[in-house]
Each structure stands twice: as structure tokens, then as C-alpha cells.
Amino acid sequence: MKQRQAASAVGTRTVLVVAHTGREAAVRSARFVVDGLAAAGLAVRVLPGEAAELASPAAQIAATPAEAVVGAELVVVIGGDGTLLRAAELARPAGLPLLGVNLGHVGFLAEADPEDLAEVVDQVAAGRCLVEQRMTIDVTVRANGSVTDTTWALNEATVEKTAREKMVDVVVEVDGRPLSRWGCDGVVFATPTGSTAYAFSAGGPVVWPEVEALLVVPISAHALFARPMVVSPDSELAAEVIGGPPGRAYQAGLTGGATPGADGQTDASGTVLWCDGRRRVDLPAGARVEVRRGARPVLLARLGRASEERDGAGSASAGPAGTGPAGPEQAGGLFTDRLVAKFGLPVQGWRGQARTRLAPGQREEGRSGDA
């Protein structure tokens, strides 16, 4: 089936479609979206590594992944959260919103489900997507005082062990002051968006995405004080790898066997940094990982219906770029609904009622508890 190389006409609206081509359901859904958007008059691009599996004659094949986002207004992602995190590596530098269709398991980052595909096509074609900014973190790795790596994350940066039988030995720092030294499986530095990912599995709190904060969550720490912590979004966090093999060094201190040197260091690390489970940096003994609020957010698109249903508005923000902002009240309520749906939370017996937006000068009538 012949496909075209990407070359959108001047003035033509362009959308990039990214899919988990290892899943047949995702391939079928991606073809539906590509064909629907192309029929609506939009230019639709696909990545060169996915073109053969998608095999849609309506799709334009980008020459390289980097060129796929040039001139596009939106990235439609079909798969799970992992696929969306992969697409974010392309969309974030270009400032493009990501609209996710979840074909994974939990899918907190995705906006729509497979049954919403027709609505996704209609809303994208009409330019009726709202856009949320999601906080990111910038990560710097230092060894012997020199910067060796820089990277970023949307969900989390995790300093963790590489061997099952060992522990990592780290000192965590907040705003230039040491907080605690832990022998543990790792430490998660997460954003509010990442609070429902690895940090959640490690026992961290759920943080609503419009809350600005950073999370520090130790993983299986052998310590009396090892609680998850929420700190200012402007805090500067760090983890220093004391040494290794971490399990042996830590146990040596407990059992009175061989001990680390006077500076607390041993000769190896067995420690690694993972960002969003995608970008890996091996950490030598003595390495320092610094985490701070990211300079550039990730943009997540929401379907325009969210505004209409909650606020009674006649229409969501329209326009080719779909730049209508989603307000905090909208985002918070939608996230609550997503939590209830994803985890099947029991809400039977709730007796509240949906609030409606009042016109200027209009007074709210008394509410009955039996509504």
C-alpha cells in the first residue's frame, strides 16, 4: 500500500499520530483516526518506524521523528501511558499538545478510551481541544563535581538499585541541606502527574495535577523515618550515591564487618537513574543526582466536551491549535472522576450535586441535602 512522504501544503492543518504498533487494537484505532482526520481535510503524519504497520494510504510518512512535529498542531497518541511518554519526547521540545487514547491498563495520562475514537476525530478536526500544562522535572547528574548527564521527566526520576539482592545507599538533600541517609531499593522524585505512577506503587500520595509540588518517595527503605514527602515546587532536591556494592556496604555497617572508607564511599555503585522508565543513566559511586522543576512543561490536550459538560458553555475554545486552557476547577473535577473510574472507587451514598456556574449578580438558591 503506497504512502506519501510528509509534505503538507502551506496553510494545511497537520496532526501527528503515534501508536503502539505492537498491539493490533492500537493499529486498527490508529488507522481509524488517520483516515477520519484525512477525510476531514487535515494532513496526517506518522513516524517512519510505524508507517509499515499502520499501512494507511492517507498518512504522510515523516522523514525522521524530529521532522514529524515540524508544523504540526497536535500529537494524537494511541496506546498506553508508555506510548504517550515516548511521544512526549517529540512533543515537548516542539511545544505540541498530546491527546492520548488509552489502550493500556490504567492510562492516567490518556484523555479518551477506544469507544471515544469517533469523538476524538470530530473534536480534533473542529479544533476544540483544551490544553493543560503538566509540570516536569529537569535532572542533572554530577560525578566528581562535573556534569556528566542532563535529562528530564514528566512522571518521575528514580535512583534505584540494579541487582535484586542489593540495596542502594543514598543521602537525600532538600534545598542544600541533608535530609536523611537510607539503605533502600531506591528513591523516587516525582511530579504531581507522576504521583499516580511509580510513586503511587511505592506508597506515595496521590496529588491532583493542578497542585504544584514535588514528591520524594523512598522505596522499601530500611529506616525508622522513611515517609513519602511533599515539598515546594521550587525546592532543589538531590540524591548522593554513597557507594557500593550498596547492599554489602550497608550491611557492613550493621554487622560490624568490613566498613566503607572515611568518606563513607566504597568502590562500586550498582545504582542507576531512570527517567519515566525510558531514559537510563548508570551512576558511579559518589554520583550526585539533582532534581528541580522543569523549565518546559508537557502539554496534554483534553476533548472540548469537558468544558461543555462541567461549565454549560456553548463551545470549548476553538481554533487550529486547540489552545483553550483548562481551568483548575475543570481539571480537578475531571481528575477526581478519573480516579474513581480507574480504581473502581466506591462512591455509593454520595449525596452531593453538580455545581452550575451562576450568571454575574445571580444568587445561589438554597440546596437541599436530599437532592
pLDDT in tens, 31-71: 999 999 999 999 999 999 999 999 999 999 999 999 999 99
- Active-site residue, selected from the candidate residues 81, 169, 185, 276: 81
pLDDT of residue 324: 52
- In this prediction the pTM is 0.82
Closest CA to 183 of 172, 169, 173: 169
Half-sphere exposure for 118 (CA within 13 Å, toward CB): 1
Closest CA to 139 of 240, 290, 274: 290
Strand order in the sheet with 237-243: 146-153, 137-143, 288-293, 237-243, 168-174, 177-184
User: Catalytic: 337?
Assistant: no
DSSP label at residue 70: T
Q: What contacts 335, CB < 8 A, 6 or more positions away? A: 208, 209, 210
How far apart CA 188 and CA 190 sit, in angstroms, is 6
Is 70 exceeded by the pLDDT of residue 279?
A: yes
In order of their start, the domains of the chain are: 1-135+297-350 (3.40.50.10330), 137-292 (2.60.200.30)
Q: What contacts 31, CB < 8 A, 6 or more positions away? A: 54, 55, 56
Q: Which residue has the higher pLDDT, 186 or 326?
A: 186
What is the rounded average pLDDT of the residues 116-131? 95
Q: What contacts 150, CB < 8 A, 6 or more positions away? A: 138, 139, 140, 141
pLDDT in tens, 151-201: 999 999 999 999 888 899 999 999 999 999 999 999 999 999 999 999 999
